[in-house]
Amino acid sequence: MLICQLYTGLPPLPKIPNDLAFVNRVVRRKQRPSRPPEISDELWAVVTRCWSHEPGDRPTMESLNSDIKKIIRGKSVAVSIRSREVASES
């Protein structure tokens, strides 16, 4: 969800109250935010892997770092980056 929030600048679930009991219900029900239209198929695949209900199925930070750098560098499907700072930091 953090990737969506960083990419769009918007909360991932804007209509959901920020209260712990409610957030726990969202997690248990496996609710996810809808895909922002500006996120590519490839980046969306990275995002959805992070949401696996089983922690062992989620990518490691090392894997995320590598995948996102590849996307930014254009080694796979291009992603529309809003800020050149993101690309230059990788």
Q: Which domains does the chain have, with CATH numbers?
A: 1-86 (1.10.510.10)
pLDDT band for position 43 (cuts 50, 70, 90): confident
Range name among 13-17, 22-26, 54-58 with the lowest pLDDT average: 13-17
Residue pair 33/4 in contact (Cβ under 8 Å)? The answer is yes
pTM here is: 0.58
- Max mean pLDDT among 11-20, 26-35, 42-51, 79-88 falls in 42-51
pLDDT reported for residue 52:
85
Rounded Cα–Cα distance for residues 72 and 23 (Å): 31
Assess whether pLDDT exceeds 80 at residue 54: yes
